[in-house]
Amino acid sequence: MDKEFKTTFIPKKNLSGVKPQESRASKKRRSLFGVLAFLLFVTALVSTVGVYLYKVRLAAVINSRIDSINRAEKAFEPSVILDLKKLDIRLRAGTELLGQHIAISDFLESLGESTLPEVSFDSFSYSYNEEGSEVSMTGQARGYLQIAQQSDIFE
Predicted confidence (pLDDT) per residue in 12-46, tens digit: 666 665 565 656 666 666 788 888 999 999 999 99
Last-in-domain residue among 57, 84, 101: 101
Q: Is 23 among the domain residues? A: no
Q: Alpha helix (H) ranges present in the chain?
A: 24-75, 78-100, 105-114, 144-154
What is the residue range of 60's domain? 29-101
Total domains in the fold of the chain = 2
Q: Is 125 among the domain residues? A: yes
Q: What is the pLDDT of residue 43?
A: 97
Rounded distance, CA 122 to CA 133, Å? 20
Q: Within this chain, do residues 34 and 87 fall inside the same structural domain, yes or no?
A: yes
Q: Which portions of the chain are predicted below pLDDT 50? A: none
Q: Within this chain, do residues 44 and 84 fall inside the same structural domain, yes or no?
A: yes
